[in-house]
Amino acid sequence: MTSPQIEIQLIAIIVSVACVIPGVFLILRRMSMMSDAISHTILLGIVLAFFATHDLTSPLLIVGAALMGTLTVYLIEVINNTQLISEDSSIGLIFPFLFSIGVILISMYAGDVHLDTDAVLLGEIAFAPFNRLVVGGTDIGPKALYVMGSILVLNVVYLLLFYKELKLTTFDKKLAAVLGFSPIFIHYSLMSLVSITAVGAFDSVGSVLVIAFMVGPPASAYLITDDLKRMIFLSIAIGILSAISGYWLAALFDVSIAGSMAVMVGMIFLIVFILTPDRGLLSIIKRRKKQKYEFANISFLMHIMRHENTDMEKNESSIETIHNHLQWDRKFLNEILSIAKENKYITINEKGIIKATREGRKIAGTYYYDWVERT
């Protein structure tokens, strides 16, 4: 591999990990779409800070972005707290409004500045290695590596310092307040962290990939585990895997690197969504099918027990006519009969009458006697 290839992948890995850390808590707080809102509205913060400094490299751009991200959250919550419209509607109102102001200001007053909306939304990580950081005449590597590395360190330090508070305010705000923690401080500091992370990743990957990294890996990990620490580490691993596999997918098909990484985030989520044991789509389908047959088997046994030793037993429990009374087709009835015979829940006498065995009575007994009591 060439040096630029290594640097691109390293930048992508650092960006993914930096985005994943706050992203885990956005997912758990059911605020994943807030990352979309913040990653767009901070454009206005960047533009206003640029107008104040006239310097695209000024650290005040990050400060402006963080403040605008915090303002976005505040405005959304102000509207949401009126309970006149839902939270998603609040997001849908605020972020297009603030983002559009930023786009208009760029088109009117910064048309000759390299601060275009395409770069903000899509980014191009392929060019990141060419934006070098030179100290004392010495090239020490891509600037994005140091910017995102610093933000990653900030995110890790924040997580280590406030892990207990983040965990408590995420799952039980009232208990956190009773114990003396400040849910408001944790909430807005987390949103500021999301803003700083998003603006730091603008130059290298753009907001689309920021959203993908903040939401995709944590969402995948959320389907796999209920343990917070495991979820954080799994999210980091999935983010790194998405970054590396996305780079090589882009190299294979000669397409956008950031786009390919976002695609791999989605593909990994899709695989997890379908194949995860217990929670995956296939597991849910199998479980529902199993429940369907278990319920049908109990209904079948209850029907037999209900008409046992009555004048209607010959008609209601006959192997030839029972499907009419249960309103099942022959194929489904044969499947239930096969299961019942295999488990020795029933016997069929010489007259073709189905009888419940002792084992069958045990299986359906509780449901049957509850039904008798109710009727």
> Is the four-CA dihedral 327, 333, 339, 340 of positive or negative sign?
positive
**Which stretch of DSSP H or E encloses residue 347?**
strand 346-348
Task: Write down all domains in the chain, each with its CATH number in brackets.
Answer: 3-279 (1.10.3470.10), 283-374 (1.10.10.10)
DSSP conformation class of 129: G
Residues 6+ apart with CB under 8 A from 80: 86, 87, 90
Band of pLDDT at residue 248, cut at 50, 70 and 90: very high
Q: Is the pLDDT of residue 119 over 60?
A: no
pLDDT at 371: 53
346-363 pLDDT per residue, tens: 999 988 899 989 888 887
* Residue 220 pLDDT level (bands cut at 50, 70, 90): very high
Whole-Å CA distances, 293 to 51, 325, 359, 360: 67, 18, 17, 15
State how far the Cα of 106 lies from the Cα of 95, in Å rounded to an integer.
17
Token digits for 211? 């959203």
Mean per-residue pLDDT, 136-152: 89
CB 64 within 8 A of CB 49: yes
Q: Is the pLDDT of residue 122 over 70?
A: no
Please give the single-letter amino acid code of residue 124. E
Query: Among residues 18, 21, 71, which one has the least CA distance to residue 48?
Result: 71
Tell me which H or E stretch contains 355.
Answer: strand 354-356
Helix (H, G, I), strand (E, B) or coil at 56: coil
Question: In percent, how much of the chain has pLDDT > 90?
Answer: 39
Q: What is the pLDDT of residue 95?
A: 86
Rounded Cα–Cα distance for residues 65 and 203 (Å):
14
How many residues appear in the chain? 375
* pLDDT attached to residue 374: 54
Best mean pLDDT range from 52-66, 120-134, 239-253: 239-253
CA–CA separation, 368 and 101 (whole Å): 67
Condensed to tens digits (0 to 9), the pLDDT of residues 15-66 reads 999 999 999 999 999 888 888 888 888 888 888 888 888 877 777 887 888 8
The string of pLDDT tens digits covering residues 187-202 is: 989 988 988 888 788 7
Decide if pLDDT at 103 tops 90: no
Between 88 and 317, whose confidence is greater?
317
The average pLDDT across 341-346 equals 91
Question: What is the per-residue DSSP string for 61-81?
Answer: HHHHHHHHHHHHHHHHHHHHH
pLDDT at 2 over 90: no
Q: At what angle do helices 60-81 and 183-202 cross, to 10 degrees?
A: 130
- The three-class DSSP label of residue 291 is helix
Contacts 24+ apart (CB under 8 A), 364-372: 364/298, 364/301, 364/302, 364/305, 367/298, 367/302, 368/301, 368/302, 368/305, 368/306, 371/302
Q: What is the model's pLDDT at position 9?
A: 94
Kindly tell me the sign of the dihedral angle through the C-alpha atoms of 350, 353, 358, 359. Answer: positive
Cβ neighbours of residue 296 under 8 Å, at least 6 residues apart?
328, 332, 336
Beta partners for residue 346, in sequence order: 356
Per-residue confidence at 216, pLDDT binned at 50, 70, 90?
A: very high
Angle between helices 257-275 and 3-28 in degrees, nearest 10: 50
Residue 139 DSSP label: E
- Over the chain, what is the mean pLDDT? 87
Is pLDDT at 266 greater than 90 in this prediction?
yes
pLDDT recorded at residue 186:
92
